[in-house]
A and B are shown apart, each in its own frame.
Chain A
Amino acid sequence: AQSVTQPDIHITVSEGASLELRCNYSYGATPYLFWYVQSPGQGLQLLLKYFSGDTLVQGIKGFEAEFKRSQSSFNLRKPSVHWSDAAEYFCAVAIGGSNYKLTFGKGTLLTVNP
């Protein structure tokens, strides 16, 4: 079965600094890859997704992610973090075909210092 690892439970950055959140997956083939964000007390919102093609994908709110097959990684990046980006971020995978389930990582909590 596929699995997702987010190695960082909690990251703190200063406002205006760059951000990279790590995600590694375990699956024999290339899965479909996603990043979701959860603000406090809210449900999850899709930031971006990768199915195939260009390995650098752009998402909402200025986020981007890069798929690296050799590293089984799909790291999320933002060049300049805003205080409103403070939230929990979840990486997820799906194996496609007739299996439509998403498997989520445990999440990375982002704190933004002023």
Chain B
Amino acid sequence: DAGVIQSPRHEVTEMGQEVTLRCKPISGHNSLFWYRQTMMRGLELLIYFNNNVPIDDSGMPEDRFSAKMPNASFSTLKIQPSEPRDSAVYFCASSLTEDSYEQYFGPGTRLTVT
């Protein structure tokens, strides 16, 4: 099994640009989670999907952030426009079911906004 796949691994962009992060969950997993990790705030849940439906987006910081899951094998997290304070490592994780709690994390995307 390839595990959770994220792309790109690193992204450097200028303030004001649109950024799209991509995630492919493990095949057969029904739940997908997007996290943001920073030194100051640690690991925060942004949004999670179950069966492609957004269940809880209370962690999404503001309207500049949006996430979609058009099918069971693909999700995107978009930031538009990006700001320097969005610089962080963004992780995608998937789990077999939403109540299994064993989440499998991807390697992360390190985003730098200058």
User: Could you list which residues of chain A lie within 8 angstroms of chain B, going by C-beta atoms?
Assistant: 32, 34, 41-46, 49, 90, 94, 100-107
Interface residues of B in 61-111 (CB under 8 A from A): 91, 93, 98-99, 101-108
Q: Could you tell me the distance between the alpha carbons of A103 and B48 in the complex, rounded to whole angstroms?
A: 13
Q: Could you tell me the distance between the alpha carbons of A46 and B103 in the complex, rounded to whole angstroms?
A: 7
Which residues in B have their C-beta under 8 angstroms from that of A94? 101
- Is the pair A107, B42 in contact by a Cβ cutoff of 8 Å? yes
Which residues in B have their C-beta under 8 angstroms from that of A106? 42
Which residues in A have their C-beta under 8 angstroms from that of B56? 101
- Is the pair A46, B102 in contact by a Cβ cutoff of 8 Å? yes
Q: How far is the CB of B91 from chain A (nearest CB, A)?
A: 6
Which of under 10, 10 to 19, 20 to 34, or 35 or more describes the interface residues of B? 20 to 34
Identify the interface centre among B101, B104, B105: most chain A CB within 10 Å of its CB: B101
Interchain residue pairs with CB less than 8 A apart (29): A42-B105, A42-B108, A43-B104, A43-B105, A43-B106, A43-B108, A44-B91, A44-B93, A44-B103, A45-B105, A46-B102, A46-B103, A49-B101, A100-B48, A100-B55, A100-B98, A100-B99, A100-B101, A101-B45, A101-B48, A102-B45, A102-B101, A102-B103, A103-B45, A104-B42, A104-B43, A105-B42, A106-B42, A107-B42
Q: How far is the CB of B33 from chain A (nearest CB, A)?
A: 8
Which residues in A have their C-beta under 8 angstroms from that of B107? 41-43
Q: Could you tell me the distance between the alpha carbons of A89 and B105 in the complex, rounded to whole angstroms?
A: 14
3 shortest A-B CB distances, which residue pairs? A43-B105, A104-B43, A106-B42
- Is the pair B31, A100 in contact by a Cβ cutoff of 8 Å? yes
Which residues in B have their C-beta under 8 angstroms from that of A107? 42-43
Q: Which of B48, B93, B102, B108 is A49 in contact with, Cβ under 8 Å?
A: B102
Which residues in A have their C-beta under 8 angstroms from that of B21? none
Q: Assess A44 versus B31: contact at CB under 8 Å? Given A90-B43, A102-B45, A105-B42.
A: no
